[in-house]
Structure 1
Amino acid sequence: MNDPATVKESAMTQAANAKGKIMLACHDLTRIYREGPQDVTVLEGLELEVRAGERVAIVGSSGSGKTTLLNLLGGLDRPSRGEVRIADESLLDLGETALGRFRNRHIGFVYQFHHLLAEFTALENAALPLIVSGQRKKAAESRARELLIRVGIAERADHKPGELSGGERQRVAIARALVTDPSLVLMDEPTGNLDQTTAASILALMDELARTTACAFVIVTHDPAMAAHQDRVLKLDGGRLTEQHDPL
């Protein structure tokens, strides 16, 4: 078993070395969809930079384009114009096969509904991105166990999702998102399906991860408490992002 203190110290050293580095940069990001005879512009000329260890919340009304933005940042969709750069790599320069490999290595996803595989244990779910990338199972599960330690759920490693609480399942999903040491973690309503107490524990966990990881976090949320807890709050409106200074 890996020592939790050693795991945490190693992670904090990595985070300190990456401090200040731009992990995500978007320039002139535009997405236009064709609906019948008309073009519908969802995002227009969007600009964004997020640095290592920084947590940015994105808020906006339903239909404002938050999901479209996450899909573009995660390489699940291509922009009509503009560029997304992650760890100084332009997603536009990557073909589909290379993009899939890059996404597996550099981007972690956490959804409102955890999307864990019911037939796998917490440890196996957390290790899955590494196994998919070709890493040996033993090494992948060793790394996954480190992440389960960091998210405070190591004692539940051998339990399947049906045996875990909602908060525990979300912690496993966060461990899975971090297991490859990604440059960027995208979170889509990560506390939206949790009760208030459990959501508070996820917020505390994110505080810890911001100190001990070198990645950037982008969190889409309708939860005012979640948004206010981040380093910056941006509002998506009219296809553009603006700093949110007023109380949510």
Structure 2
Amino acid sequence: MNEETAMASSGNPAFADNEIMLQCDGLTRIYREGPQDVTVLDALELEVRAGERVAVVGSSGSGKTTLLNLLGGLDHPSAGHVRIAGQSLSEMGEAALGSFRNRHIGFVYQFHHLLAEFSALENVAMPLLVRGQKRQEAQEKARDILSKVGMAERCEHKPGELSGGERQRVAIARALVTDPSLVLMDEPTGNLDQTTAGNILSLMDSLAARSACAFIIVTHDTGLAAHQDRVMRLDQGRLSED
């Protein structure tokens, strides 16, 4: 095992409140469209502390999804750096980056991306199994988090047997089951009713307080944004306090 893989495979460290969990320096993403370069993110700067919840709002096409992809290591910046839990994503190889994401980053997309052939329980347990946890332990933890998002009675159902809101709850459970350092959410409550959305917010509050997990939430929901510690606006490639 090389040094970068060992680093990414280690357990999550304990983070103190107010410690920097995410740091972006000069984060830039430029796409080529025909003969022109289009700058989507322009030397963006951002710090998010452990236990902090930050909402990012902006018009359609402002680069919010691009930002999430860069923060999660799913895309590479044209310039600048992203550090999570004190580690630079750009310094990791692909194998180490995949292991790091499994241990430190939770994703919730607009579309659930659940595996159709597996039950809700199996989908949520999957990141723990990939990590090497025993099946029984992984499924016990998955069952517990599914219960917290109101899916205790639907654990054995496959995604095709669930409603859109139920699938989103399973996706949220999958993102939180690993006790990540950072959770990235793209319109996480868009398909949920008001009561369920409230339960998800309470679960996020609990996780942020208990484990110092940081959240970055891209949303058009003003109520969801207002619930967070800070609201940032992405406009013309730059972030500013809303």
Q: 2:112 aligns with which of 111, 114, 127?
A: 114
Instruction: Write the letter of the residue equivalent to 1:131.
Output: L
Pick one of 84, 88, 91 that aligns with 1:90. 88
Mapped to 1, the partners of 2:151 and 2:207 lie a distance apart of 14
AA partner of residue 72 (structure 1)? L
**CA displacement at 1:117 relative to structure 2:** 2.1
SS of aligned partner of 1:18: coil
Equivalent residue for 1:81, pick from 68, 79, 82: 79
Q: Is the 8 A contact 2:43 2:80 kept in 1?
A: yes
SS in 1 for 2:128: helix
1:194 counterpart SS class = coil
Cα offset, 1:242, TM superposition: 0.2
| Equivalence for 2:67 | 69
Classify 1:105/1:16 alpha carbon distance in 2 versus 1 (closer, same or farther; 3 Å): closer
What displacement does 1:16 show?
9.1
Q: Cα gap change, 1:85/1:57 in structure 2, threshold over 3 Å: closer, same or farther?
A: same
How far is the alpha carbon of 1:165 from its aligned partner? 4.2
Give the structure-1-normalised TM-score: 0.84
Structure 1 residues 91-240: aligned runs within 5 Å: 91-240=89-238
Tell me the distance in 2 between the aligned counterparts of 1:166 and 1:217: 23
Cα RMSD (Å) of the superposition?
Answer: 2.2
Identity %: 75
| 2:41 counterpart SS class | strand
Shift of 1:193: 2.3
Aligned letter for 1:132?
A: V
- Secondary structure at 1:61's aligned position in 2? coil
Counterpart-to-counterpart distance in 1, 2:85 and 2:107: 16
Matched residues in 1 for 2:193 and 2:146: separation?
21
Alpha carbons 1:187, 1:219 under 8 Å: kept: yes
Segments of 5+ residues of structure 2 without an aligned counterpart are 1-11
Corresponding residue of 1:45: 43
Kept in 2, the 8 Å contact 1:15–1:214? The answer is no
Task: Please say if residues 149 and 200 of structure 2, whose CA atoms lie closer than 8 Å, have aligned partners that are also in contact.
Answer: no
- Distance change (3 Å), C-alpha of 1:151 and 1:195: closer
Aligned to 2:32: 34
How far residue 76 of structure 1 moved from its aligned partner, in angstroms, is 0.5
Give the letter aligned to residue 183 of structure 2: V
Q: Report the counterpart of residue 25 of structure 1 in structure 2.
A: 23
**AA matched with 1:117:** L
Secondary structure of 2:40's aligned partner: strand
Flag as ranges the 4+ runs of structure 1 deviating above 4 A.
14-17
Gaps of 5+ in 1: 1-13
1: distance between equivalents of 2:75 and 2:53? 23
Q: Residue type of the partner of 2:170?
A: V
Counterpart CA distance in 2 for 1:184 and 1:85 is: 11
1:211–1:16 distance in 2 versus 1, CA, 3 Å = farther
* Of 161-170 and 217-226, the range deviating more from structure 2: 161-170
Q: Which moved more, 1:51-60 or 1:188-197?
A: 188-197
The residue that corresponds to 2:8 in the other structure is: none
Give the distance between the partners of 1:92 and 1:31, measured in 2 at CA.
Answer: 14
Question: Aligned AA for 1:233?
Answer: V
2:84 and 2:14 mapped to 1: Cα distance?
Answer: 19
